[in-house]
Structure formats: structure tokens, C-alpha cells
Amino acid sequence: MAFASYNSKSGFSVGSRTVLRLDRPLTVSSMKPVAPSPLPFASAATRTKSASSLQRRSSVGSLKTGKDDSGGQSFPGRVRVAVRLRPRNAEEQIADADFADCVELLPELKRLKLRKNNWDCETYQFDEVLTETASQKRVYEVVAKPVVESVLEGYNGTVMAYGQTGTGKTFTLGRIGEEDCADRGIMVRAMEDILADISPEHDTVTVSYLQLYMESVQDLLAPERDNIPIVEDPKTGDVSLPGATLVELKDQQNFVQLLQTGENNRIASNTKMNTESSRSHALLLVHVKRSAKSKQEKDLVIPQENGNGVQLSKGHRAPTIRKSKLLIVDLAGSERVDKSGSEGHQLEEAKAINLSLTALGKCINALAESSPHVPTRDSKLTRLLRDSFGGTARTSLIITIGPSPRHRAETASTILFGQRAMKVENMLKLKEEFDYKSLCRRLEADLDRLIAENERQSQAVLESEEEMERRLEEARIIVVEAESRLSAALETLAEERRKHQQENKETLQKVEVERAEMERFEQKLKKNVQDLQDQKEKQTFAEKEKHQKALVELEEKYNQELSNVKQILETERAHREKLENELKELLKKAEETTKEESLRTERAKEDELQKLKQQLEKEHLLREQAECELKKIEQQHKKTNGIIQDNEDSSILRQKVEQELQEKEKLEEEVRALKQQLLQLHIEAEESKRTLEKASSTRSSVCSDSHISINRPSNMRDTINGQRATIAKLFEQVGLHKILSLLQSEDVDVRVHAVKVVANLAAEEGNQEKIVEAGGLGSLLMLLQSSEDETIRRVAAGAIANLAMNETNQELIMAQGGIGLLARTADDAEDPQTLRMVAGAIANLCGNEKLQIKLREEGGIRALLGMVRSRHPDVLAQVARGIANFAKCESRGSGQGNRIGRSLLIDDGALPWIVANANNEASPIRRHIELALCHLAQHEVNAKDLVAGGALWELIRISRECSREDIRTLAQRTLNASPTFQAELKRLHVVY
Ligand SMILES: Nc1ncnc2c1ncn2[C@@H]1O[C@H](COP(=O)(O)OP(=O)(O)OP(=O)(O)O)[C@@H](O)[C@H]1O
């Protein structure tokens, strides 16, 4: 191995104790915990043994088991020895080709066999046995890594290579591995681990690299520094080289540069045994200084003069630092001078090397044998390694051997050296001390801070005192003012108190007087109450009796009424059954007899009419004759009055005239009686109607769909039928013309009763034509227009409604301006019954397809919708019926192609009301509206409006819930047929 001289270009300053700082930053890594790890090769037995042996070695310094003087803990640890076999080199491969290796390695048993001859060998046990194929990495990990870890934990450590020249010591320790990183030796790998573990902020790593050549210590980083003295601490036994250069490391690259510099400066020669034989012992010293973390800091005790210590607060605990040292020693190779053929200077070198190695061997022998004297002073090498063998460092020795049987003796010597070294016990000691400097710095900083704080606080106290003074003065003023206000307030209070006392006194007197009065009043009241109670008791008894009597009467009356009703019901039921039977029979016969019956009826009617006509004509004739005769007599009377005054004939004639006059008076009397009878009949009819309505209040009248009459109970119907029979009789007796003429009577009552008679007659389908023919419709419309009486207008509207059931009459009503009159009445009337009649009349007209446009033009639909303001269910039902009729006709017209375009109902704004009432709780309203909606929906032209108006949901509901199957089916069909409805349903994701 060739060593170049020191290269001044490296840039390192060289001088006594110079610490070289490098520009490159350190690789940052956190500091490991400092608790010492157990030693891997020191068994419990060994520890006990070594402890006792080391206690005997006082010469080694302060070493002992347990706690040392500084309080630090000590741990025993045997020197660990590994053996490494170099592979055969080129020369050996040729020269020893026919020979087996002198050693056989059993790595798994950690044993080595050294051949004595072909049949005999000796076996040695080592801590590690590394074959010729062992990698550099593995060698580092088993030999040096545990030592490096101990160094990082605060213990000194030594790794040393010993062996014959050319067996691979430098290869094992000093290879830089520039060409192949796998070749990196222990020095490079150890520094990598150290730099990776330390913290660049708190820890420092410094390096010295030296060689011991010819018993002189020389600085390999500054070769001019020669003969560096070895200093030993007499107290601790620690060895130091204060003259050596210390370089603070920042990174690995810088270390490699240092190593190369040192290598260049190391002395090497080309010997017979090794072309690059190291002629010096190389020592790499790595100093690691680590600060303990704050939580591991110990309390600092400041010594006092009296011997006691003052412990500082926890914030001022002394930080600790750990200073440890790693020593890597590449010994020069031992050689047999006779074999190496060294001479001259090389011989001198060899002698020096051998001497130092011999001295080392002696020391190790002494230590191995626990000799009381260890001759460490025999050589500088042993002085330098004093701490590594039998000292406080953790030591790992690697012995290198070659395989050649030609060097068996040297190999055996090396093996024996290793075996002895294995017996050497060290006592590891934690190198920890307080970092007073940094504590001092911290304390000074704290002190400065406290002084500044104190100054600030003093100033603040001063200012707050002044402020206090000021506030005290202000408070004094406030107190004085408050005191004066208080005294004034107290005076006022006393005055008020006096006043209140006086008032209280007066009030008390008044109360006394009032109380006396109250007592008097109470007594009086009691008396009155007593009187009243007595009176009440008497009255109650009388009333009770009266009530009981009335109750009995009422009960009897009720029972009577009940039995009447029951009877009526029974009769009704029997009558109904009879009617049903009759109806059935009639239905059976109906088909056969319809034609004959109708012919017969018509003939009978015609006969009857004929008879009536004849009778009327007869009467008319008689009257005309009587009138003619009367005229003649009068004429004759006038003629003969003057001529034959005293004639007997004149008296006869006079008698005749008188008779005629009497007859006339009689006839007039008869007419009056008939009128009276008519009035009487209606009064009776009204009374009986009221009575019956009361009796069957639960069976209230409901307007029938198209016929504006009351759906009355059977008894009532009977009465009405009786009435009608009477009226029919009257009708026959008096004649329709006479009844209609009474509609124009000046007497309101007569008009009322006449219109009621006409309305009753109009309720019979058979009379309707006659009424219209006789001009009844015109009279009724006139009444509707001109009458101010509500009853007349209501009954007239009802009669018109009944007449409007007939198609011909509907046209007549329209032709005579009836819809306008009905609309006006609808606008003016407030009585629900009048509105019901008017709505019923319009509803009937709505059912005529031919009249639709005219009806709408003359405000029929508007009037119909206007009547919903009434909210009366009967009115609403008629409005709904009218809308349904109208929609049905429109639908029919559209279907037949008679009409196009949107519904007039929608045009007139009926849709919102239709949608709102489509699900009305009253079934008549609901049923009509449902039907109307279905009719409107049948035509696509209305669909968009229906969707926009929310009618789609009602149609869906109708299609699902409507009680009438035909309407339900209609709604379903309509929904399925309409593209607009289908599109909307799809848009809303409604599955229908
Ligand atoms: N384990 C090994 N594998 C391969 N080659 C090796 C090994 N050990 C040593 N060598 C080679 O052997 C030669 C001698 O090695 P080295 O110089 O390290 O020996 P040395 O013990 O240091 O000798 P000296 O004491 O004379 O300095 C070198 O060429 C080296 O490369």
C-alpha cells in the first residue's frame, strides 16, 4: 500500500489542537436513546468472573464494577475476537497448488481447525469465524457494528485488526470502496452509521488520523506533526493525543477525503510478502460528543460553602453530554524477517513493528492471565491501546490469517494471539458529564431576561401606584358627594314616611267605615238571598210540575207523531211494494200495450177535451145567449119604458131583469168563492208541507238532478199529490187561463198563490205544454223580470226550471230572452233556494246542444259560475250539473264534428272551480264534476289547459277511485288516449 505525502491542497489547516470545520452540511438524524445495550458476547458467567478479576487490577486505573467515582454505571465486557481467512492470492494458487490450506473453518460452529500435519489438527473456538467468501458488509456487522452502537450510546470502543503481513488487515479496515461500494471497509461503514445517527444541531463528530511509525506518533492529516506525545489521565487512565489534528465532520464525503489524505500519508512498502505492506500502525480516532435531551437532564445542585448544595428549579437542570471515542487500529503486519527478507531500513521497520506487537502480546498475555502487572509502558502501541485492552472501552479484535501452509507457524501465532485476547476483560463505562458551559449560557440568558422583566415590573408598579393615588382621590370626591346626596335623600325619605303614615291612618279610618257598611250590606244580602231562595223553591216546584206536565204532553205527542210516522212509513212501504209489483206487471205488459194504451189515452184525452170544449162552448153559448137576451130586454125596456110604464108586462120584464141581475151577481159570487177556495187550498198546502217537512227533518229534501221539485218523503208526496189532485180539479173547474190571469193580479198574495199553483202544475209533465200554450211561460218570465217579491221570483224560477226540461220549451225560453232574465236573477238573488231554482233552470238549458253558443253569449255560463259564491251545496250541485251538461254537449258536438276549438267552459274560466271541486265531499257535486272533467279531457284541444290547471291528478284519481264504473272507465280511456297526458306522465315519471 503506497502512501503519498500530505497534500496541501486538501485545504485543512494544520496546527496544534486545530479543529477543522467543514462547509458541507451534516446528514441529519435523531440521537438514539442512551441506555446502554447489553453486550452480545458477554455471558453472565463471564461477567461475574471478569468483575472479580478486574477488581484486582488496580493498575488499570479507576475501573471497577458497579458505580464509578463519577456515579456513572460500569458494565463488564470481554474482548471480542473474530478470525477472517483471506482467499488464496495468485502466488499461493501456484505455489501451494498441490497443498491443502493450513486451516479449515467451521463457521457455523464458530471453530477453526489448524492442521498440524496431514493427520492431525488443532481446533480453536472464536466469537466469529469468517471464511474467505465473507463479504465486507458481513464482516462490519459482526465485528464493528456493536462497537459503533456502543460508541453512539456513550461508551468508548476499539476495533483492531491483527495478523501476519499481507493477510488483509488494511483490506478489512481501510478499504474506501471507490470502485466497488461493496468493498467499503470498517472505517467507512462505521462513519456512515455514526453520521446517520447523530443530530447535527446538538452533536459533534471529530476525527484524528495518526500512525505509529518507528515508535513515533505522526499525524496522518498533518504529517509535519510528528512525535506527538501520548498523555494519560492519571485519574481515569484515559489516553489522549492533544497534539493531533481534530477535524469536525459534517458529512461522509468529507470523511472519505480525510481517509484518502491519511492513506496517502501512511507509510507503506513493497515487501516480499506484500506489495503494499503497511509499515506503520494506523489509528483512526473518532470523537463523538452528544447532548442529552432535556427530559434526561439532571437537577443541578450548586455547591455551598457549608458543604450543602442548593438545587435549582427544574427549568435550570444541568444538561448532560456524552463524550465517547471510537478507535480503529490497523496494525502493521508481523513478519518473519528471515522469510520477508527485509534488510536495511525495512529490517529496522520490521523490528520496530515486531517489537511493538510483541509488547502488545505481552500485555494481552498478562491481562489474559490476570497478571497483577501489565507492561503497558514497554511500547507506545501498548500505551495507546491501554484503554482498549483491560480498559473501559468495548473492544473487538479481528485477526486475519492466510491459507498458505507455508505460513502455518505465523498463522498459528496469530491464532494464539486471538485466543489470548479473548480472555481479556474490559469494564465499559458510560462517558457522561454535565454540560456546565451550555447551562451557564442558559442561566445567563435567563438572568438577563429576569433582570429586564424585573425592570419592567418595577416601572409598572410605579405607574400603578400613581394611578392608585389618582383613583383614590377621585373615589374620595365621589364619597363626599354621595354622602351629601344620601343625607338629602334621607331627609326626603323621612318626610315621605311621615306623609305615608298620615295617609295610612286616614285610609285605615275609611276602611273601618267601609267595613261596617259592608257588614250591614252583607246582612241585608243574606236576608235577600234567603228570601230569594224561599221564593225560588216555591217557583221551582210549580215550574217542575208544569215542565213535567209539558214533558208528558210532549212525550205523548212524540209517541203519537212516531206512530203516525211509522204508520206513514208502513203505508209507504206497502204502497211502494204495491207500486213496484204494479210497475213490474206494467212493464211486462208495457211492450204489448204501449201502443194501444197510448192510443186509448189519447182518445180518452181527446174525448175529454172534446167534452170540455163542448161544455165550454155550451156555457159560452148559454152566456152569449143570456147576454143577448139581456141586451134585448134592455133595449126593449128602454123602448117600452116610457110607453108602457103601467103595463102588466113591464112588471114581468122587470122581474126578469132582476132575476138576470141576481143570476149575474150569483155568478160573480161564485167566482169570488172559487178565488177564496183557491187561496184556502194554498194556505192549507203550505201548512201541511211545513208540518211534514218538520216531521221528516232527517230526510231533508235533496234537489233532483233535472226536475226542480223537492224530493219529498212519501207522506209529503201523498199530500202534494193530493194537493195536485185538488189543483187539477180546480184547474178543470176554473180553467188554466183564469189561473194564469191571476198571475197578474194586483194582490201580491193572490200572485204568490197563483204562481205556486202554476209551479205545481208545471211539475207535471202533462201540464207543461198546456201552460206554455196558454202563455204561462211568458207570464212566469214576466214575474221573474218585474216582481220584487223573493217568493214569487223563487217559485217562478222553479216553474221555469221545470218547463226547461222539455227541449221545445228550452228553445222558447231562450227565444223569449229567458237566459238573460235568469242570469240577472242569479246576479241579484241571495236566497240559496232562489239560486238553486235559477241554477237548475240554467243547468237544464245547458243540456241543449243547439243552444250552447247563445247560452254562453247571453252570459249563461258566467251566471252559473257566479252562483258558486253562495257555497250552498244545493246550489253548487245545480252549478255542477249545468257544467257537466254543458261539457257533455260540447263533447258530443266535437265528436260529431259540429264544433272545434277549446271548450267554452275553459274560455269562461270554469276550470279552476272544476279542479277545486272535483273531489268535493258532497257526492252530487263530485259526480257531476268528475263527469265534466272526463268530457273536457276527451278532447286533445283542452289537454294542455287541463295539465296546466292541475286537472291531470284529478283525472288519475277519478280513474282509480271514482265510485261509478262508467266514469272510471272514461277517465282511464281518456288518460291512455291523450298524447299530452301521456307525455306529462312520462315527464313526471308517473307510471300509469
Ligand atoms: N479477504 C480478502 N479478499 C480478497 N483479497 C484480499 C483479502 N484480504 C486481503 N486481500 C488482498 O491481499 C493483499 C494484502 O492485503 P493487505 O494489504 O490488506 O494486507 P495487510 O495485512 O494489511 O498487510 P500489511 O500488514 O503488510 O500491511 C491485498 O492485495 C488485498 O487486496
394 bridge partner residues: 157
* 340 CA to centre of ligand 1 in angstroms: 16
Tell whether the model's pLDDT for residue 204 goes beyond 90: yes
892 bridge partner residues: none
Pocket test for ligand 1, best of 131, 167, 176, 275 (most atoms within 8 A of CB): 167
In our burial notation (b when 16+ CB lie closer than 10 A, e otherwise), range 541-550 reads eeeeeeeeee
Tell whether the model's pLDDT for residue 39 goes beyond 50: no
Tell whether the model's pLDDT for residue 588 goes beyond 90: no
Phi and psi at residue 431, to the nearest 5°? -95, 80
Angle at 197 between CA 193 and CA 198, to 5 degrees: 125
User: Is residue 276 in contact with ligand 1, taking CB distance under 6 Å?
Assistant: yes
CA 209, distance to chain mean position in Å, is: 71
* 92 CA to centre of ligand 1 in angstroms: 13
Tell whether the model's pLDDT for residue 613 goes beyond 80: no
Model pLDDT, residue 324: 92
Ligand 1: atom nearest CA of 273 is 26
The rounded distance, in Å, linking the Cα atoms of 809 and 714 is 29
- Strand 204-213 relative to strand 66-67, pairing: unpaired
* 83 CA to centre of ligand 1 in angstroms: 14
Let me know if 765 is exposed, middle or buried by CB neighbors in 10 A (0-12, 13-18, 19+): exposed
Let me know if 625 is exposed, middle or buried by CB neighbors in 10 A (0-12, 13-18, 19+): exposed
- The arithmetic mean of pLDDT across residues 919-925, rounded, is 89
Model pLDDT, residue 41: 31
Lowest mean pLDDT among 23-37, 172-186, 370-384, 637-651: 23-37
Over its C-alpha atoms, the chain yields an Rg (Å, rounded) of: 72
The rounded distance, in Å, linking the Cα atoms of 154 and 172 is 25
List, for residues 752-775, the tens digit of each pLDDT value: 888 888 888 888 888 888 899 889
User: Is residue 426 in contact with ligand 1, taking CB distance under 6 Å?
Assistant: no
pTM score over 0.95: no
Domain with CATH 3.40.850.10 in the chain: 8-301+327-434
List, for residues 450-485, the tens digit of each pLDDT value: 888 988 998 999 999 999 999 999 999 999 999 999
Model pLDDT, residue 705: 43
Model pLDDT, residue 754: 87
- The arithmetic mean of pLDDT across residues 37-47, rounded, is 32
Angle at 764 between CA 760 and CA 767, to 5 degrees: 95
Give me 478's grid cell. Answer: 365621589
> Which protein residue has the closest C-alpha to ligand 1 atom 31?
171
Confidence of residue 848 (pLDDT cuts 50, 70, 90): very high
Model pLDDT, residue 615: 65
Those residues whose C-beta lies under 8 Å from the C-beta of residue 80, and which sit 6 or more positions away, are 40, 41, 127, 128, 143, 146, 395, 396, 397, 422
Lowest mean pLDDT among 267-271, 519-523, 887-891, 982-986: 267-271
Answer whether 861's CB lies under 8 Å from 910's CB. yes
User: Is residue 86 in contact with ligand 1, taking CB distance under 6 Å?
Assistant: yes
The rounded distance, in Å, linking the Cα atoms of 692 and 715 is 8
Tell whether the model's pLDDT for residue 292 goes beyond 90: no
Pocket test for ligand 1, best of 160, 165, 171 (most atoms within 8 A of CB): 171
The rounded distance, in Å, linking the Cα atoms of 992 and 976 is 9
List, for residues 65-88, the tens digit of each pLDDT value: 334 444 456 678 899 999 999 999
User: Is residue 167 in contact with ligand 1, taking CB distance under 6 Å?
Assistant: yes
CA dihedral 638, 640, 644, 646 (to 10 degrees): -30
* 169 CA to centre of ligand 1 in angstroms: 6
User: Is residue 170 in contact with ligand 1, taking CB distance under 6 Å?
Assistant: yes
Lowest mean pLDDT among 369-383, 533-547, 828-842: 533-547
Answer whether 139's CB lies under 8 Å from 190's CB. no
Model pLDDT, residue 283: 96
Ligand 1: atom nearest CA of 334 is 25
> Which protein residue has the closest C-alpha to ligand 1 atom 16?
168
* 170 CA to centre of ligand 1 in angstroms: 6
Confidence of residue 308 (pLDDT cuts 50, 70, 90): low
> Which protein residue has the closest C-alpha to ligand 1 atom 9?
168
Find the largest Cα–Cα distance for the chain. Answer: 224
Angle at 42 between CA 36 and CA 44, to 5 degrees: 100
CB atoms within 10 A of CB 621: 11
Let me know if 778 is exposed, middle or buried by CB neighbors in 10 A (0-12, 13-18, 19+): middle
User: Is residue 332 in contact with ligand 1, taking CB distance under 6 Å?
Assistant: yes
The rounded distance, in Å, linking the Cα atoms of 501 and 518 is 25
* 401 CA to centre of ligand 1 in angstroms: 10
Model pLDDT, residue 187: 97
Model pLDDT, residue 36: 33
The DSSP string of 192-224 is HHHHHHS-TTT-EEEEEEEEEETTEEEESSSTT
List, for residues 372-396, the tens digit of each pLDDT value: 899 998 899 999 998 888 888 999 9
User: Is residue 277 in contact with ligand 1, taking CB distance under 6 Å?
Assistant: yes
In this structure, what DSSP letter does residue 334 have?
Answer: B
> Which range among 342-351, 715-724, 968-977 has the greatest average pLDDT?
968-977
Percent of the chain whose pLDDT exceeds 90: 39
Confidence of residue 44 (pLDDT cuts 50, 70, 90): very low
Residue type for position 551: L
* 463 CA to centre of ligand 1 in angstroms: 83
CB atoms within 10 A of CB 516: 10
> Which protein residue has the closest C-alpha to ligand 1 atom 8?
168
Confidence of residue 898 (pLDDT cuts 50, 70, 90): confident
Tell whether the model's pLDDT for residue 910 goes beyond 90: yes
Those residues whose C-beta lies under 8 Å from the C-beta of residue 963, and which sit 6 or more positions away, are 923
* 480 CA to centre of ligand 1 in angstroms: 107
Confidence of residue 897 (pLDDT cuts 50, 70, 90): confident
User: Is residue 333 in contact with ligand 1, taking CB distance under 6 Å?
Assistant: yes
- Run of H or E residues at 83: strand 80-85
- The arithmetic mean of pLDDT across residues 505-534, rounded, is 84
Length of the chain: 992
Tell whether the model's pLDDT for residue 3 goes beyond 50: no
The rounded distance, in Å, linking the Cα atoms of 672 and 734 is 12
Q: Is 938 helix (H, G, I), strand (E, B) or coil?
A: coil
User: Is residue 165 in contact with ligand 1, taking CB distance under 6 Å?
Assistant: yes
- Strand 80-85 relative to strand 394-401, pairing: parallel
Angstrom CA distances, 51 to 55, 363, 394, 875, stand at 6, 19, 15, 124
User: Is residue 169 in contact with ligand 1, taking CB distance under 6 Å?
Assistant: yes
Angstrom CA distances, 706 to 709, 853, 861, 867, stand at 9, 21, 17, 17
The rounded distance, in Å, linking the Cα atoms of 122 and 112 is 8
Angle at 192 between CA 187 and CA 193, to 5 degrees: 100
User: Is residue 166 in contact with ligand 1, taking CB distance under 6 Å?
Assistant: yes
Phi and psi at residue 292, to the nearest 5°? -80, 155
The rounded distance, in Å, linking the Cα atoms of 961 and 972 is 11
* 240 CA to centre of ligand 1 in angstroms: 30
Model pLDDT, residue 391: 85
> Which protein residue has the closest C-alpha to ligand 1 atom 10?
168
- Run of H or E residues at 346: helix 345-368
Ligand 1: atom nearest CA of 161 is 21
The rounded distance, in Å, linking the Cα atoms of 649 and 227 is 208
CA nearest 2: which of 274, 281, 342? 274
> Which protein residue has the closest C-alpha to ligand 1 atom 23?
166
Residue type for position 797: A
> Which protein residue has the closest C-alpha to ligand 1 atom 11?
168
Model pLDDT, residue 612: 61
Ligand 1: atom nearest CA of 134 is 1
The rounded distance, in Å, linking the Cα atoms of 797 and 842 is 10
Phi and psi at residue 897, to the nearest 5°? 80, 15
CA nearest 670: which of 631, 740, 619, 721? 619
- The arithmetic mean of pLDDT across residues 487-513, rounded, is 89
Model pLDDT, residue 611: 66
Phi and psi at residue 283, to the nearest 5°? -125, 115
> Which protein residue has the closest C-alpha to ligand 1 atom 18?
168
Confidence of residue 559 (pLDDT cuts 50, 70, 90): confident
Model pLDDT, residue 417: 94
The rounded distance, in Å, linking the Cα atoms of 965 and 955 is 14
Average pLDDT, the chain: 78
Neighbour order of strands in the sheet with 111-115: 103-106, 111-115, 121-125
In this structure, what DSSP letter does residue 671 have?
Answer: H
- Beta strands in 154-194, from DSSP E residues, in sequence order: 157-163
Q: How far apart are the first and last CA of the chain?
A: 101
Let me know if 923 is exposed, middle or buried by CB neighbors in 10 A (0-12, 13-18, 19+): exposed
The rounded distance, in Å, linking the Cα atoms of 417 and 160 is 13
Answer whether 254's CB lies under 8 Å from 27's CB. no
Tell whether the model's pLDDT for residue 609 goes beyond 80: no
Instruction: Determine the CATH number of domain 8-301+327-434.
Output: 3.40.850.10
The rounded distance, in Å, linking the Cα atoms of 369 and 743 is 162
Q: Which residue has the higher pLDDT, 871 or 898?
A: 871
